[in-house]
Amino acid sequence: MKMRISQLRANPYKQMVAGGKLVQEQVDAIKANLTTLGFMGALPVIKIGDNYHIVSGHHRVEAVKQNFGDVEIEVTLHEYNEDNLFRGMIIENLTQSGKEWDVEHGNIIAVFDYLNNNPESLNQIRGSISRPATGRHMPQRMNIEYQNNATSTDVIAFLGGEKVASKTQVNSHKQMEANLTPEIKERVKFGHRGERDKGNDVILATQATILALDYFKDKPEEQNDIARALKNSREQRVREQGKLLTIYQKAPEEEKQRIRSGQIDIADVSEERVTISPDMKTTNDRVDKIIDMVDELMQEIRTFTRMGEVQRMTIAQNKRIQKSLLIDFKFTLSPFIKMLQKNVIIKPREEAQ
């Protein structure tokens, strides 16, 4: 069937993503190909009361309207429930080519909001959809936080699996939504390191991931200062910047203030070396040192995981990181294990036998 554009209304959930605003750059890209490719299939619509609403394809409709005015377009009428009406819009937004970071971020966070506001949909997912990664059903015994709030696993299940968005992507966006200041989120863009200089206000998505630390939660001014410090630093390799942030968190307050004010480069932050004494007197001493070292290692692992997904690393890049991780093992984890052995906390396998 055919309908005039003026007869169609936006998806009722369109306001949940970027306040319902369309991306003019995307509309322009579609307009440039309309003459050659046409409308590219019928538009999915749904009838609610007396009104017809677009399920997905808002940018296509706007492109036709700007080029040709209030013309008739081909539509297909569907009978969708609320979940599918929302899901159809989100999936098209996330799978479109050339999407910007804010589009991806806005759509993934919208799914969290939708599930948190619709407990019946959330419970239905947990009861009937298997985990995409393992194929196992959702656990029956869940803590209160898990029961009341949508998780990354819930979001992926709602979207039909990791082909739409990977768990690392979803986790990263959830972390950035919780821990990044609004000022930083407005400046984040996808891109390569060389594109950073095209605009002084741009923060690459890879840099945003390392800034989304729990340490900066409720510290918006400090986070904004460190974002500026990273941008102005002579060290622009993202993985190395992640290490610098780990060191920065443990730096003396006086040194932090000098970095924040731009008096010194964050690349010059002094690292406090943790040394393990083989003749430590008490068990508490050993435990404190172990906890500190494990915390530091886990922070680095989380940084590597977030960065690996956002950068979409090539095989060659992966090999370089593997080599770097082996070096980290040699100088960090290996001495840690030897310390445990010396302090009779663990024994070599041959001794244990």
Q: Which amino acid is residue 11, in one-letter code?
A: N
Cβ–Cβ under 8 Å, residues 101 and 190: yes
Instruction: Give pLDDT tens digits for 290-319.
Output: 666 666 666 666 665 555 544 444 444 555
Tell me the average pLDDT across 135-147: 45
**pLDDT of 279:** 52
The confidence band for 286, taking pLDDT boundaries of 50, 70 and 90, is low
**pLDDT of 346:** 44
Cβ–Cβ under 8 Å, residues 239 and 321: yes
Q: Is 80 exceeded by the pLDDT of residue 91? A: yes
Pairing, β 188-189 against β 203-204: parallel
DSSP 231-256: HHSS---HHHHHHHHHHHHTS-HHHH
Would you call 115 exposed, middle or buried from its count of C-beta atoms within 10 A (0-12, 13-18, 19+)?
Answer: buried
Helices 58-68 and 24-37 meet at what angle, rounded to 10?
70
**pLDDT of 345:** 45
**pLDDT of 30:** 86
**pLDDT of 323:** 53
Tell me the average pLDDT across 256-262: 95
Q: Which of 8, 26, 159 is nearest to 100 (CA)?
A: 26
Instruction: Give pLDDT tens digits for 166-194.
Output: 999 999 999 999 999 999 999 998 865 54
Q: Which amino acid is residue 65, in one-letter code?
A: K
**pLDDT of 35:** 76
**pLDDT of 26:** 85
Minimum mean pLDDT range among 118-122, 168-172, 196-200: 196-200
- DSSP symbol at 344: T
**pLDDT of 207:** 86
Q: Which of 95, 25, 307 is nearest to 193 (CA)?
A: 307
Q: Is 70 exceeded by the pLDDT of residue 274? A: no
Q: How far apart are the first and last CA of the chain?
A: 77
**pLDDT of 141:** 41
Would you call 172 exposed, middle or buried from its count of C-beta atoms within 10 A (0-12, 13-18, 19+)?
Answer: buried
Q: 248 is written with which tokens?
A: 């920065």
Q: How far apart are CA 46 and CA 198, in angstroms?
A: 42
**pLDDT of 329:** 53
Q: How far apart are CA 232 and CA 58, in angstroms?
A: 39
Tell me the average pLDDT across 236-250: 90
Share of the chain above pLDDT 90, in %: 45
